[in-house]
Structure 1
């Protein structure tokens, strides 16, 4: 289940590497318990420093029969003592106690995860949000829960500007909710976040992919002059070209094939429009140019600035006019 549906249970497993979602799941469970028991005792345990028998002590009934929530954080870093105690606890949980096991991913503790699955412990999935489609869905959900909406261009601009970190993306949504009114569009996002590294890089990429060499170079030189590293710019151009290549590969195979790409519909539509100006040969030339620039800006070349500018010009020149 997603974090927004997490509910108290004798044992809850919060599994996944996305820390923000994991924290929200734990906070929601505590809040739900407090709705019926405002005085519930909440204890946090660091799995890395856990001592044998600690779980038994923390979950033992209190003198006044008060409810308890025990949050065990970092189970992926746990030693054998916690893993053994937690597995034993699954077989006989204590009434009126909620134990939340937070596992951030990896193989450590897999036996406990398997035991939790066999015991049908409710599991909250907090997997990393990687694709732009998932980030767009996250933005829309954040705004919807705050009673606001953004149009498609506004969502896309926000993901481009702040999409590398989910916590920053959530903070950006909160800022826009607090500081704007009505439907959130691209103009509002640019006003608050247009100067971000990712936004600048994608602006360069957009101009290059559109074949506008003059605009692309002007944006690039401005970005470099204000201290932007060439590496994220090359990454942004590479990301745009990868999107074109992916959409081009399924073009003509129908909407179902496009959905399998893990992209938001507006990304697929935009790439399809961009591809009208691209031939497979031109796309191959552009991808090769960016691959060379990527190696050069990461140490193989003498002048990273020259490398990225040359790549941007080659990409723009590869557009079929």
Structure 2
């Protein structure tokens, strides 16, 4: 059976998305969904949890609908699948439904090995999308380079190296940094551009400052902020990191549904939804609203409306660490 990289995902009756790199797996699944949706806007999308599978669920979802719309069935947690799911999935491979695309996400391990071996034998017209962890800096460099290439944005070699150095421990944050530079930079992204946003922060970055504050760790957030500033970080991208996280939290707050469903609803990746849900523990709507107001004030302050951008940042961190409480 064909084994393809995450960026080579294409429609097939059965798409096995394997590997430990969750960010790449979620992006591949999202790209497949977007492609199918573009081909036919009437696409029906369903989500199945293989570890809490209900008997007959797969066959029911794959059954032809009244109007014959194509169907995309996304199955998560296949590495934890129940015996019932395993048996029914093996049966389904013998006779996949027409106009139906079943995506099986397997994050690694030996559970479900019989299913994986059967899929890899080529039964059911399957393909495998391999999403292995990017461990080498050269792999991360290539990933970042492709982010800019796909957006048609020029970037220098030194800028790419600096980005990879600053975000080598988190592929999702590396991608977010690339996307922010793609969106904000009006011309070629150079080392100077990266310096202005993420300068000198191999160990300290804006997202870590935001993470500490959102977790309620005011002291750690302030220490990390001072480290970032002393390393040459600019207050503007630090506020942008806070804005990105708080904005995502506001979208997810009070919403019900699975991460894939909410991600599709709000234009987010499932991992972003799950992270926001985790960050929202202990928050209420009034506190979140106050943080959004202070965030807007801080954004204006660091862009010239205030006399002391560092004081504005420290105030913002205090408000967020208290979850917006007075």
The interval holding the TM-score normalised by the smaller chain is: 0.5 to 0.7
SS at match of 1:124: strand
Within 2, Cα distance between the matches of 1:32 and 1:224? Answer: 41
Q: Which residue of 2 aligns with 1:50?
A: 53
Q: State the Cα distance separating 1:199 from its structure 2 match.
A: 5.8
Q: How does 1:263-302 map to 2 (within 5 A)?
A: none
Q: How does 1:130-149 map to 2 (within 5 A)?
A: 130-149=135-154
Q: How does 1:189-208 map to 2 (within 5 A)?
A: 189-194=194-199, 196=201, 198=203
Instruction: Find 1:67's aligned residue among 66, 70, 77.
Output: 70
Structure 1 residue 28 and structure 2 residue 27: aligned? no
Higher Cα radius of gyration? 1
Given that 1:14 and 1:101 are in contact with CA atoms closer than 8 Å, whether structure 2 keeps it comes out as: yes
1:220-275 per-residue CA deviation (whole Å, 9 max, x = no partner) reads xxx889469xxxxxxxxxxxxxxxxxxxxxxxxxxxxxxxxxxxxxxxxxxxxxxx
Q: Which residue of 2 aligns with 1:216?
A: none
Given that 2:9 and 2:28 are in contact with CA atoms closer than 8 Å, whether structure 1 keeps it comes out as: yes
Q: 1:140 to 1:227 in 2, by over 3 A?
A: closer
Q: How does 1:1-321 map to 2 (within 5 A)?
A: 1-119=4-122, 121-194=126-199, 196=201, 198=203, 226=226
SS at match of 1:122: strand
Q: 1:48 to 1:227 in 2, by over 3 A?
A: farther
TM (normalized to structure 2)? 0.60
Within 1, Cα distance between the matches of 2:188 and 2:142? Answer: 16
Within 1, Cα distance between the matches of 2:175 and 2:182? Answer: 11
Within 1, Cα distance between the matches of 2:61 and 2:132? Answer: 29
Within 2, Cα distance between the matches of 1:117 and 1:140? Answer: 31
Within 2, Cα distance between the matches of 1:183 and 1:163? Answer: 22
Given that 1:162 and 1:199 are in contact with CA atoms closer than 8 Å, whether structure 2 keeps it comes out as: no
Q: 1:89 to 1:178 in 2, by over 3 A?
A: same
Q: State the Cα distance separating 1:52 from its structure 2 match.
A: 2.1
Runs of 5+ consecutive residues of structure 1 not aligned to the other structure:
201-222, 229-321
Within 2, Cα distance between the matches of 1:110 and 1:224? Answer: 44
TM (normalized to structure 1)? 0.60
SS at match of 2:16: strand
SS at match of 2:149: helix
Runs of 5+ consecutive residues of structure 2 not aligned to the other structure:
206-222, 229-326
Number of residue pairs matched by the alignment: 206
Q: Which residue of 2 aligns with 1:256?
A: none
Given that 1:70 and 1:98 are in contact with CA atoms closer than 8 Å, whether structure 2 keeps it comes out as: yes
Q: State the Cα distance separating 1:33 from its structure 2 match.
A: 1.7
Given that 1:157 and 1:199 are in contact with CA atoms closer than 8 Å, whether structure 2 keeps it comes out as: no
Within 2, Cα distance between the matches of 1:224 and 1:181? Answer: 29
